[in-house]
């Protein structure tokens, strides 16, 4: 009996919330998943799941068992990697990233990365939600500073500028702000983090000290491409990562803004976007993850 295989199926059922969803995730039929659960319960001599035609819940025994076994597949993968003593990066690599960074930065780089490491099979998850490395099988995630937490080991790999910009038509109509104080007189396009609903702060370094501007939001969105599109069509001033803004500036659709000092302040700069590569533990920095991080550092 393949007990580890039965445990893996049980974990997938719990994580996916139903036998049907677990079957799709594992590429099995629902009947085969159900039979695996029954064999595991028979092997243990306890009922793990209470199943009806409309619902499925963990029994008390099932809850205790799940907490003990939920990390087994991940631990086995780490043990296999440690024992393999890889001579070259190889195998599946699951990368999670914010949607915009994945679309504008990672996607164009993936063919070159694959050409450099043909034995690595890449899966790219582009999402702005919180990703659980263990539950979703993620090897490495690319995050901005606001997405870091104490459960991750983070390595800074890049610092990219934010660019404040607006359409020429908007600036011709509303005027170009010359100081941070004048931002309050303009329509501002503000990004809201989808995970916790906070606004992306408009932070500047003024004479070496961080200062948060207080824009009056004219439009709010949790999608940076929507913010950029509204800016292009004259909706107001946007704060965009350089990889989003620069192509629109180069094409003449947006115009960058430059700030002068005020009240005796002589140096005003927008705070950059710091990019981090994150893993759950140092043992997860295997050959393929290291290869990806080093490739990305060199590329950006």
Please state, in angstroms and rounded to a whole number, the distance separating the CA atoms of residues 246 and 83.
Answer: 45
How confident is the model at residue 118, as a pLDDT?
A: 95
For residue 203, pLDDT beyond 70: yes
pTM (two decimals) = 0.68
Q: What is the residue-averaged pLDDT of the chain? A: 88
DSSP per-residue letters across 161-229:
-EEEEE-HHHHHHH----SGGGGGGS-EEEEB-TTT-PBPPEEEEETTEEEEE---EEEEES-HHHHHH
For residue 40, pLDDT beyond 60: yes
How confident is the model at residue 86, as a pLDDT?
A: 55
How confident is the model at residue 146, as a pLDDT?
A: 78
Of residues 25, 13, 26, 27, the one with CA closest to residue 55: 13
Q: Residues of CATH 1.10.10.10 domain(s) within the chain?
A: 3-70
Please state, in angstroms and rounded to a whole number, the distance separating the CA atoms of residues 159 and 149.
Answer: 19
Residue 238 and residue 162 in contact, taking contact as beta carbons nearer than 8 Å: no
Please state, in angstroms and rounded to a whole number, the distance separating the CA atoms of residues 113 and 140.
Answer: 15
CATH among 3.40.50.1100, 3.40.50.10490, 1.25.10.10, 3.40.190.10 for 160-274: 3.40.190.10
Q: Residues of CATH 3.40.190.10 domain(s) within the chain?
A: 91-156+276-298, 160-274
pLDDT digits (tens, 9 = 90+) for 167-191: 999 999 999 998 888 888 999 999 9
Residue 273: how many other CB atoms lie within 10 Å? 20
Which range among 66-80, 150-164, 243-257, 270-284 has the greatest average pLDDT? 243-257
CATH among 3.40.190.10, 3.10.180.10, 3.40.50.620, 3.40.30.10 for 91-156+276-298: 3.40.190.10
Second-level CATH architecture of 3-70? Orthogonal Bundle (1.10)
Residue 32: how many other CB atoms lie within 10 Å? 14
In order of 101, 121, 266, 277, the CA distances from 177 in angstroms are: 28, 48, 16, 36
- Read off φ and ψ for residue 226, nearest 5 degrees: -65, -45
Residues recorded for the chain: 300
How confident is the model at residue 267, as a pLDDT?
A: 65
| H or E segment to which residue 50 belongs | strand 49-51
Write down the residue that tokens 């819940």 correspond to. 57
Q: What percent of the chain is predicted at pLDDT more than 90?
A: 51
pLDDT digits (tens, 9 = 90+) for 229-239: 999 999 999 99
Residues 6+ apart with CB under 8 A from 175: none
Q: What percent of the chain is predicted at pLDDT more than 70?
A: 93
Please state, in angstroms and rounded to a whole number, the distance separating the CA atoms of residues 45 and 112.
Answer: 52
Please state, in angstroms and rounded to a whole number, the distance separating the CA atoms of residues 27 and 49.
Answer: 21
Of residues 119, 40, 33, 51, the one with CA closest to residue 84: 119
Four-CA torsion 274, 137, 28, 19, nearest 10 degrees: -90
């Amino acid at each position: 009996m393949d007990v580890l295989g039965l445990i893996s199926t049980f974990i997938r059922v719990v994580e996916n919330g139903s036998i049907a969803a677990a079957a799709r995730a594992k590429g099995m039929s629902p009947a085969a998943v159900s039979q695996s659960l029954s064999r595991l319960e028979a092997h243990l001599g306890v009922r793990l799941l209470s199943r009806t035609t409309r619902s499925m819940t963990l029994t008390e025994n099932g809850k205790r068992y799940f907490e003990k076994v939920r990390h087994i597949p991940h631990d086995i993968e780490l043990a296999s990697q440690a024992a393999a003593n890889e001579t070259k990066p190889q195998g599946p690599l699951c990368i999670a990233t914010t949607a915009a960074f994945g679309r504008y930065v990672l996607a164009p780089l993936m063919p070159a990365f694959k050409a450099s490491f043909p034995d690595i099979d890449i899966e790219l998850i582009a999402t702005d939600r919180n990703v659980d490395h263990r539950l979703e099988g993620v090897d490495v995630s690319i995050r901005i500073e606001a997405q870091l937490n104490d459960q991750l080991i983070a390595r800074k790999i890049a610092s990219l500028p934010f660019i404040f910009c607006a359409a020429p038509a908007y600036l011709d109509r509303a005027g170009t702000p010359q100081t941070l104080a004048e931002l309050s007189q303009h329509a501002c396009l503000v990004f809201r983090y989808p995970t916790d609903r906070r606004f992306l702060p408009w932070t500047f370094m003024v004479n070496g000290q961080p200062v948060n501007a207080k824009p009056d939001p004219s439009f709010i969105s949790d999608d940076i491409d929507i913010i950029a599109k509204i800016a292009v069509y004259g909706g107001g001033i946007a704060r965009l990562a350089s990889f989003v803004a620069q192509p629109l500036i180069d094409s003449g659709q947006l115009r960058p803004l430059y700030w002068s000092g005020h009240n005796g302040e002589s140096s005003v700069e927008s705070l950059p976007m710091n990019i981090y590569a994150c893993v759950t533990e140092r043992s997860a920095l295997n050959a393929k993850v290291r290869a990806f991080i080093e490739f990305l550092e060199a590329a950006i």
